[in-house]
Homo-oligomer: A and B are copies of this chain.
Amino acid sequence: MARIYDQYVQHMQKVADVGHSIAVLSWDKEVNLPKGSAAKRSQQIATLSGITHELFTDAKFGRLLQRLYAMKNLSRKEKKNVSLTLREYKKVQKFSQEFVIKRSHVVSKAYHAWIAAREANDYDLYKDALQELIEIKREESKIIGRRKHPYNALLDQYESGANVAELDKVFSDAKRGLKKLISELNSSTKIKTGFLRKHYPQDKQWAFGLKVLEHIGYDFEKGRQDLSTHPFTTSFSSEDVRVTTRVVENDFANMTWSCIHEGGHALYEQGLPIEDYGLPTGSAISLGIHESQSRLWENHVGRSMEYWTYMLPKLKKQFPENLKKVSLDKFYRGINKVAPNLIRTEADELHYHFHVMIRYELEKKIMEGKLNASNLKTAWNRLYKSYIGVEVPDDNQGILQDIHWSHGSFGYFPTYSIGSFYAAQFFHQACQDIPKLKKQLRKGKTDKLLTWLRENIHQYGQLYDAKGLCRKVTGEPLNFKYFMDYAREKYSSIYGIEE
């Protein structure tokens, strides 16, 4: 008879098989789905989601978990898997079927309202549905259990252990530090970016994107790239991790850094141990750690002088007309221009975090009951003025820009900044651990860095939580200092510091 732990593994793999099937259907929906096929596809995904839920919440499975949790003779890894699964099991058990169905309807309604509001550029069309969503999120937080702050329950779903007390500290450091840095940058510095807006033909951009992925070590035998409206990464197992991108012909930056970004996510997924398929130790830790991997490649590698020292000559061969007069220095400065802007996804590395902080502040107040859909837009516009210094001209460039809330993803945004800050801390450590890493990057060698990430981060899955991993790898908890040091060094060299 199989060991009881093996029964657990078998069941978890079954759940994972269905979960990954949902991922295949969803990927296909974004990449391939014919126009007239959406309704049945949604139904199929909903059915599989229901089955995953049934399998995972199965009472027999719950008893198995309890038995395993009480056992003494499990290995450390086995214990970790069982305790994480039991924690998730208990959490999911808290939600009645009634609540889950209601939430799914409210989310679906909000999503369609958001689509309609986007089309009309009119927040009013979204407001009521969003209010319902806000209320169900407050209810969800109560069901999970209030903890110290009602927002914590939601934050924890994307970043295990994340909480308002810690985030307030990180974001207040970030706000102060970044405001100061931006104010010090020499505002008379001229940076030209016109070369990024020339005509870059679709097929050549696509070919360059594939080269970029190959260069950072993405394994095309265990993945592929396709086109979709919004770039994303998805995994059907660490042996089939797919990325998508989009190509805009007069906007070279659009595809290029999204390729490296998604590539970074994909390297993490490809690096998870296949032998732990379906288990926590075979899965990514958190969204913050995931984002640390994408940001590390996108920014610390992909927007560095070292990377383009190697890559720009190759790029020039692809697009000689567009780039012949662009020196390495001009290119590097162009891709790192700092300027206040309205749209989060188009922000530079510094302003980006103000976009995130605004959402964090709003969500926190929403969960405290101090903000509702009715006064959210006013609050949004006020914060954009105060944090970034821009006037919001219309709803599409303001409160309607992100899809996340319409998906019910409250608590998600902070992981974007957390991920960037982890990235800086990890990259700093990698530079300590790998002699001459930057010199290697200048020569186009990325393999040592990937090996370092594989060994220090990817291979563990959830054997450590985000905080534990950060300590293990860097010797200290998340510290905004590393991002600040990186940013100050980089941008003062580009802009100079005003005295």
Q: Which residues of A contact B (CB under 8 A)?
A: 13-14, 17-18, 20-21, 24-25, 28, 32-37, 39-41, 43-44, 47-48, 51, 219-224, 236-237, 239-240, 274, 277
Known: A34-B222, A40-B239. 20 other contacts (CB 8 A): A14-B47, A17-B43, A17-B48, A18-B47, A20-B44, A21-B24, A21-B48, A34-B220, A34-B224, A35-B221, A36-B222, A36-B239, A36-B240, A37-B237, A37-B240, A40-B237, A40-B277, A41-B237, A44-B236, A51-B51
Chain A interface mostly: helix
* Chain A to chain B: the 6 pairs with minimum beta-carbon distance, closest first: A17-B47, A37-B240, A40-B237, A36-B221, A17-B44, A35-B221
Are A21 and B25 closer than 8 Å at their CB atoms? yes
Among B14, B21, B237, B274, point to the contact of A21 (Cβ < 8 A).
Answer: B21
Are B48 and A18 closer than 8 Å at their CB atoms? yes
Chain B residue numbers with a CB within 8 Å of A220 are: 34
Chain B residue numbers with a CB within 8 Å of A14 are: 47
Which residue in chain B gives the minimum CB-CB distance to A43? B17
Chain B residue numbers with a CB within 8 Å of A32 are: 224
Are B224 and A39 closer than 8 Å at their CB atoms? no
Are A240 and B48 closer than 8 Å at their CB atoms? no
Which residue in chain B gives the minimum CB-CB distance to A19? B44
Which of A13, A18, A47, A223 has the most chain B CB atoms inside 10 A of its CB? A47
**How far, in whole Å, are A300 and B435 apart by their CA atoms in the complex?**
72
A233 to chain B minimum Cβ distance, whole angstroms, is 14
Which residue in chain B gives the minimum CB-CB distance to A219? B36
Which residue in chain B gives the minimum CB-CB distance to A44? B17
Are B13 and A43 closer than 8 Å at their CB atoms? yes
Are B44 and A21 closer than 8 Å at their CB atoms? yes
A182 to chain B minimum Cβ distance, whole angstroms, is 43
Which of A20, A44, A237 has the most chain B CB atoms inside 10 A of its CB? A44
Chain B residue numbers with a CB within 8 Å of A35 are: 221
Which residue in chain B gives the minimum CB-CB distance to A223? B34
**How far, in whole Å, are A41 and B18 apart by their CA atoms in the complex?**
11
Contacts known (A24-B25, A43-B13, A51-B51); A37 close to B222, Cβ less than 8 A: yes
Query: Could you jot down 12 A-B contacts, CB within 8 Å?
Result: A17-B47, A18-B48, A20-B44, A21-B24, A21-B44, A21-B48, A28-B28, A34-B223, A34-B240, A36-B222, A37-B240, A40-B237
Are A221 and B34 closer than 8 Å at their CB atoms? yes
A478 to chain B minimum Cβ distance, whole angstroms, is 33
A163 to chain B minimum Cβ distance, whole angstroms, is 36
Which of A18, A37, A43, A51 has the most chain B CB atoms inside 10 A of its CB? A37
**How far, in whole Å, are A24 and B21 apart by their CA atoms in the complex?**
9
Contacts known (A51-B18, A224-B32); A239 close to B39, Cβ less than 8 A: yes
Are B37 and A236 closer than 8 Å at their CB atoms? yes
Chain B residue numbers with a CB within 8 Å of A43 are: 13, 17
Chain B residue numbers with a CB within 8 Å of A221 are: 34-36
Chain B residue numbers with a CB within 8 Å of A219 are: 36
Which residue in chain B gives the minimum CB-CB distance to A270? B36
Which residue in chain B gives the minimum CB-CB distance to A55? B51
**How far, in whole Å, are A39 and B13 apart by their CA atoms in the complex?**
13
A44 to chain B minimum Cβ distance, whole angstroms, is 4
Chain B residue numbers with a CB within 8 Å of A18 are: 47-48, 51
Chain B residue numbers with a CB within 8 Å of A44 are: 17, 20-21, 24, 236
